[in-house]
Structure 1
């Protein structure tokens, strides 16, 4: 970057419509009729989640809200009686004395309502975290229950991310809106019932007075929601740059590339756009609110004028009119809350439905239990005419594979990137099922047995092991969390055999050191050190089938040699599948299998393959040449 010239960050374009906005347009455009039609579905969805979170809490919340409405009605009716006594003819002391029982009833009913509203708030506080817990638990259980192949599908990731990032939050928020709706609906019904009970002619006056308030509340809510939808892409891009400026993962490169200024410039540009848009939304809501208040004031003036005329004509008693004024004010507020709650419930229900849709899809992508247990070990694993393709890929990962892996063998899978090595290994372990063909452990087709029993017998060491944010001990123990190792000797042995013990000894708290810099007193490891932890985890799992996928790619030569020596020592009685590009490490394997474009093109011992020539010999000689002095290359020692 020359001088002070800054790149035009906008040249990359704003982010397009994302997975997380799939329902926003539908919710923003919904008509009042659609809102009303969807409302029972939304309430039923929220009720089921609340019921799952706490049956007692759900029942308590509904009952308390309904009884609070009854208390409100009683207070209004008692108010009418109190006013009737006060406005009656006769001496003032007698009128006050006659009104005291009604006043006492108003006091008791009002106090009861306050207590019940506290109960509702407490029940909601109890249920809200529980609803979120239920939603999260169901999503996570569904995700881990799905077959591994689902995670290779981009559509699956979109569906899962939408359910996780929006569905769970909206599910929790929906409870609050449902409580608001219930309280407002009860309040509105109480107002209507009280006014109708006082005198039927008052009902049209109530409708006249509260309609503008309801329109203003719904319109303001819609303006805010449509503004949020319109800005969603801006928000997403703003959050992306905020994360780049603050995340640990990007911190080093941001500084090394001196990218602070262009990143801050783009963040400020986006923040200004968001600010201007939010100001416009605020102005629009203010205008609607002003119009709503003006119309509401006119409607109330008209209603009160009509009420005064009715009192003057002695159609409605003065005491009834006074109570009607109180009821109208209460119903007006309830309607405003009700309209907003209905609007929000509709929006939230779409995302709750999306959450449920993910659960259904995850169930469809899970291997249903067959009730048939997995075999206890194997003599051989046989693949017959196996074909496998990843979702969305134009080419198959495996094409007509016939392969046998025998118990106790150490087999290396080699080949260029994308040749199908990892896919073949995962099929051997039953983590994938073939699109065509069969995988048998002895005489058992893996498609016919419960997968958990197969997975219990497999240890998988990945090239980039998961960096669990737990202690060093916990990282290794996760290899088999339910293993009985009271004195820790098995874990220590796995750490020593993998070379992880040398790393852990240097940590500030040894095996109790937290391996995450995102928490206090935590530390991070280098790529090679994490790989040793991953190998230790695989060793600790102590499974009959060990699959090591580039387990030493980030290790130095000495550490790599030690790991492979220990793998050979641990192979006694076990079956080991090694995937590697470093062919010098596989010379002592019982068999080397060479793959190219999803097909097995060669297999045999190192000596056999070198004599035969072909792809393996070519790859080996290319690597060997890198360690051999070329003519004329010396002289600088």
Structure 2
């Protein structure tokens, strides 16, 4: 068993909550001493009441004192327990917040390629649902302290009666520890195995309640199919979980039978002691209770010791996720060379293959972009256009080849500094359910001011300001419905907002990865004209399927099956009579057909 994750977790918890730990230990020790104190008071109370009823003693003051002590112990125990529960809950919230932050930081900084793997999603789902396991080592340790103190005090008491009572009380601990350890490990690996189906059920459930999918669910009549899919996945997981639980409960019944047998043996010894010595009724009752309490403490200790192994598996899984190398860690050996103002970007013999694919998506790509150029990249779906853009902006690391900025390899440049050269509008750009202001400023939020003049300038230049001024709360209007907003934008308005977002960032290179694909040809033409007009001093790279848009570029790169097969301006490519000319002819024919109908 690897206990390194356990040590890391303990170090994290101790560093975060020394005061909580000290208070918890103090309260635990006090609470641990209460059971044996209660037993002693009960023993003396029963003996005093028995003597009083038999008229052997008329000391009523002693009985009242013992009753007051018993009542006080009960109140003290309740106060201590509730204080401990409150402080535990408070600290759990702090730990949960810190761990969630770590998970979000890690998941938002790992290389983008991780998101192409379902195993990564499974891992993220597992650790997200098990952050509560982090406090388990401390809780187990505190529980062990409490149970050991209680156990030792009970053992001392039982030993004063007869040594064999300890033997009958403790012998059951071995099988209890063994059974709990086995099933703890089985629970973890079952959870590991069931994560993919659980994630499927969760995703399917989200489709039934999501606003984004609500239209298709109703139009296509998907309710029955999705409900059935969700039910089957969840049912399969439940059946597997219940199967393991059934085996565990059967084993627990056997253990309870063994516990009952050992308790019966202890009772037989008590009866023998009553015959052979003068044990009072109070001693008899307390001895019986002590044996039960001893067995409960031992069972709890065995269960906690077994839980350490199970908890370590969860912690190891958590730290394996945190140990994924993020972009900052991958940059540790970078020379971090500086470069003057951007003048060109060169791509040399670049190839890229997705980890799960045998065939490369990009192969032997080479071209150069000079400052101020407007480059169009066109090609059929699946030709590798978007993958090329992701390699170009540093989201994917090429399998082979290099990218240079002013002849400096980007491997020698800080990734953040390199990314700061770009503004990108993706095809599936995010429509944030935040305010209009946040939707625009989010492209450069770390450098934005509360009242940033760039915001209003970008909104005016993009054309979205006309619509925003008609809204009741202007730039503070919340968009979407999810966060309580009541304003939705049309597709064209969202496109204008996306332009404003790009203009607000105001970087040297603007990349447009088919953000206008949902627009009609005239709207797309207007979209690109706005970008080009307000970015005359910028370098612009855009992907488009439409030839009329590509004509706006200084140079057009034609991609097919992961390679650049043609390069030139519109007139040159038409004269070549190749792929571009073929695509142009096909689009003209389609346009004529639409006009004729």
TM-score, normalisation: structure 2: 0.83
Compute the displacement of 1:467 (Å).
2.4
Give the secondary structure class of the aligned counterpart of 1:182: helix
Assess if the C-alpha contact under 8 Å between 1:216 and 1:291 holds in 2. no
Q: 1:357-376 residue pairs with structure 2 within 5 A? A: 357-363=320-326, 366-369=329-332, 370=334, 372=336, 375=339
Compute the displacement of 1:526 (Å).
4.7
2:290 to 327, 332, 352: 327
Instruction: Please list the CA deviations of residues 135-181 of structure 1 after superposition, one character each: whole Å capped at 9, or x if unmatched.
Output: 221122122222223333x1xx423x334322233231453685266
In structure 2, C-alpha distance between the alignment counterparts of 1:620 and 1:139, rounded to whole Å: 48
In structure 2, C-alpha distance between the alignment counterparts of 1:203 and 1:193, rounded to whole Å: 14
Assess if the C-alpha contact under 8 Å between 2:435 and 2:476 holds in 1. yes
Compute the displacement of 1:462 (Å).
0.4
Assess if the C-alpha contact under 8 Å between 1:212 and 1:299 holds in 2. yes
Compute the displacement of 1:404 (Å).
1.1
Residue 480 of structure 1 corresponds to 444
Give the secondary structure class of the aligned counterpart of 1:576: strand
Evaluate the alpha carbon distance shift between residue 570 and residue 555 of structure 1 in structure 2; reply closer, same or farther with a 3 A threshold: same
Instruction: Please list the CA deviations of residues 277-322 of structure 1 after superposition, one character each: whole Å capped at 9, or x if unmatched.
Output: 9998898788767666555444333312312322432397876655
Give the secondary structure class of the aligned counterpart of 1:118: helix
Give the secondary structure class of the aligned counterpart of 1:481: helix
Residue 208 of structure 1 corresponds to 168
RMSD (CA atoms): 4.3
Evaluate the alpha carbon distance shift between residue 570 and residue 244 of structure 1 in structure 2; reply closer, same or farther with a 3 A threshold: closer
Assess if the C-alpha contact under 8 Å between 2:433 and 2:479 holds in 1. yes
In structure 2, C-alpha distance between the alignment counterparts of 1:582 and 1:445, rounded to whole Å: 33
Evaluate the alpha carbon distance shift between residue 208 and residue 453 of structure 1 in structure 2; reply closer, same or farther with a 3 A threshold: same
Evaluate the alpha carbon distance shift between residue 61 and residue 526 of structure 1 in structure 2; reply closer, same or farther with a 3 A threshold: farther
Assess if the C-alpha contact under 8 Å between 1:146 and 1:366 holds in 2. no
* 1:392 is aligned to 2:353: no
Residue 64 of structure 1 corresponds to 27
In structure 2, C-alpha distance between the alignment counterparts of 1:403 and 1:270, rounded to whole Å: 49
In structure 1, C-alpha distance between the alignment counterparts of 2:220 and 2:395, rounded to whole Å: 41
Assess if the C-alpha contact under 8 Å between 1:549 and 1:579 holds in 2. yes
Residue 272 of structure 2 corresponds to 309
The 10-residue stretch of structure 1 (413-422 or 544-553) with the greater mean CA deviation from structure 2: 413-422
In structure 2, C-alpha distance between the alignment counterparts of 1:42 and 1:321, rounded to whole Å: 47
Residue 158 of structure 1 corresponds to 119
Residue 216 of structure 2 corresponds to 253
1:195 to 141, 145, 155: 155
In structure 2, C-alpha distance between the alignment counterparts of 1:84 and 1:321, rounded to whole Å: 10
In structure 2, C-alpha distance between the alignment counterparts of 1:438 and 1:279, rounded to whole Å: 54
Evaluate the alpha carbon distance shift between residue 373 and residue 70 of structure 1 in structure 2; reply closer, same or farther with a 3 A threshold: farther
Query: How many residues get paired?
Result: 592
Consecutive unaligned residues in structure 2, runs of 5 or more: none
The 10-residue stretch of structure 1 (504-513 or 424-433) with the greater mean CA deviation from structure 2: 504-513
Compute the displacement of 1:428 (Å).
3.0
Residue 13 of structure 1 corresponds to none
Residue 139 of structure 1 corresponds to 103
Give the secondary structure class of the aligned counterpart of 1:385: strand
TM-score, normalisation: structure 1: 0.78
The 10-residue stretch of structure 1 (538-547 or 225-234) with the greater mean CA deviation from structure 2: 225-234
The 10-residue stretch of structure 1 (409-418 or 341-350) with the greater mean CA deviation from structure 2: 341-350
1:383 to 347, 351, 355: 347
The 10-residue stretch of structure 1 (456-465 or 602-611) with the greater mean CA deviation from structure 2: 602-611
In structure 1, C-alpha distance between the alignment counterparts of 2:379 and 2:353, rounded to whole Å: 18
Compute the displacement of 1:392 (Å).
1.5
In structure 2, C-alpha distance between the alignment counterparts of 1:614 and 1:191, rounded to whole Å: 87
Residue 5 of structure 1 corresponds to none
Consecutive unaligned residues in structure 1, runs of 5 or more: 1-36
Residue 534 of structure 2 corresponds to 570
In structure 2, C-alpha distance between the alignment counterparts of 1:340 and 1:375, rounded to whole Å: 61
In structure 2, C-alpha distance between the alignment counterparts of 1:607 and 1:454, rounded to whole Å: 34
In structure 1, C-alpha distance between the alignment counterparts of 2:550 and 2:265, rounded to whole Å: 93
Evaluate the alpha carbon distance shift between residue 561 and residue 237 of structure 1 in structure 2; reply closer, same or farther with a 3 A threshold: closer
Evaluate the alpha carbon distance shift between residue 313 and residue 599 of structure 1 in structure 2; reply closer, same or farther with a 3 A threshold: same
Q: 1:384-423 residue pairs with structure 2 within 5 A? A: 384-423=348-387
The 10-residue stretch of structure 1 (296-305 or 41-50) with the greater mean CA deviation from structure 2: 41-50
In structure 2, C-alpha distance between the alignment counterparts of 1:376 and 1:214, rounded to whole Å: 71
* 1:354 is aligned to 2:314: no
Instruction: Please list the CA deviations of residues 538-579 of structure 1 after superposition, one character each: whole Å capped at 9, or x if unmatched.
Output: 221111111111121112344322221122123322211111
Assess if the C-alpha contact under 8 Å between 1:374 and 1:451 holds in 2. no
1:536 to 493, 496, 500: 500
Give the secondary structure class of the aligned counterpart of 2:479: coil
Evaluate the alpha carbon distance shift between residue 445 and residue 281 of structure 1 in structure 2; reply closer, same or farther with a 3 A threshold: closer
Instruction: Please list the CA deviations of residues 6-37 of structure 1 after superposition, one character each: whole Å capped at 9, or x if unmatched.
Output: xxxxxxxxxxxxxxxxxxxxxxxxxxxxxxx6
In structure 2, C-alpha distance between the alignment counterparts of 1:168 and 1:464, rounded to whole Å: 26
Assess if the C-alpha contact under 8 Å between 2:180 and 2:306 holds in 1. no
